Structure 1
Amino acid sequence: MCNTIPPGTPGEAHDRFAEAAAFHGHVCPGLATGYRAAEVALARLRSGRSEDEELVTIAETDACGVDGIQVLTGCTAGKGNLLFKDHGKHAFTFINRNTGAAIRVVSNPSFNIDSLDPDLAPLRARVMQGLATDAEHAEFHERTRRIVEAIMKAPAEQLFIIREVDAEIPERARIFRSVPCAKCGEMTAESRVRVEDGKFVCYACSREYSRHL
């Protein structure tokens, strides 16, 4: 769970951070980190916001920062240019389809939130456990706000390890014909059905087959 405060002022120096906070629902260090990673990508790849699939993001986490990336880069799950690898890392690969250039942006282990404010961790634990007083909630929000400000102001090289990479450019998103599942009747993309007894069956209705013990 992330440290959270209501949308407010920490991103005013960065044009669209308030929009990212509104989209995400609150301001937190994770959102700020993803937003800064997206800033790095747009600058290094000399790219504007992706209107279609000009830019591709491969995210290795599904945490808060991904929302900042969606707002700033225009890489979204719905357009098919935001792809996930469930590696549990704050690591993002950005690819410019037009030039073939790609960079990988990874959180720098030396930039540690707990080292910025060693007293935040025990306070965060009390808040998340529902044990914090009103005064402790207020203190938590203020400490979190200061950390978000630090993230938004820090040099990119302090926040991240940034390197150019050779990345395989993913195929553009395709629109597949839908077919009815023979069991539940729901329309399912033909790329997401299995065949059982000669009939199309969706993943949810299909029987798992395995010979592993």
Structure 2
Amino acid sequence: MTETDGCFADGLTAATDCTVGHRTLRVEDYGKAAATFVDTQTGLTIRVAPALDIREQAYQFAPDEPRHYFAQMQAYQVMPDGVMFTVTEVQLKTPIEAIVSRPGMRVNCDVRRRDHE
């Protein structure tokens, strides 16, 4: 589950191969750059988010780059995961069974669409 939409969700798709279309990625837009990952077999649920001070930490990994954006871009390529992210075990408010539908289950609509004249 991604906690924001837009390019962050695209990045999650690229990194995890989870997609909204395949129902393996769910968008819950809270405006936060974070994602919650659920092991549907064990129920283990973790939330991954950038460390609160990630931008400040980045400068230590690119000390020769005076431009903030470029320093961050360089640093994010080499920073250890433990410095870049906070990983927290969490509990879902909604049971995973209510979130994940049964694979292959399809429902046909009883109402037929009438063309408007």
TM-score by shorter chain over 0.5: yes
Pairwise CA distance, 1:68: 2.6
Tell me what 1:160 maps to.
85
User: 2:62 corresponds to which residue?
Assistant: none
Query: How do residues 32-181 of structure 1 correspond to structure 2 at under 5 angstroms?
Result: 58-112=1-55, 116=59, 119-120=67-68, 143=70, 147-167=72-92, 168-169=95-96, 170-172=99-101, 174-178=105-109, 179-181=111-113
Instruction: Return the structure number with greater strand share.
Output: 1
Structure 1 residues 162 and 89: alpha-carbon distance in aligned structure 2, compared to 1, 3 A threshold: same
State the AA in 2 paired with 1:81. Answer: T
Task: Show structure 2 runs of 5+ residues with no match.
Answer: 60-64
Query: Greater CA radius of gyration, 1 or 2?
Result: 1
- Give the letter aligned to residue 95 of structure 1: V
- What CA distance in whole angstroms lies between the structure 1 residues aligned with 2:5 and 2:23? 15
Give the 3 Å change call, closer, same or farther, for CA 70–157 of structure 1 in structure 2.
Answer: same
* TM superposition score normalised by structure 1: 0.42
Count of residues paired in the alignment: 104
Q: CA deviation at 1:71?
A: 2.6
Instruction: Report the structure, 1 or 2, having the larger helix content.
Output: 1
Unaligned runs of 5+ in 1: 1-57, 122-142, 185-213
In structure 2, the residue corresponding to 1:158 is in which secondary structure? helix
- TM score, norm. by length of structure 2: 0.70
1:40 corresponding residue in structure 2: none
Tell me how far apart the structure 1 counterparts of residues 47 and 115 of structure 2 sit (CA, whole Å): 43
Deviation at 1:151, TM superposition (A): 1.0
What is the Cα-based RMSD across aligned positions, in Å? 2.8
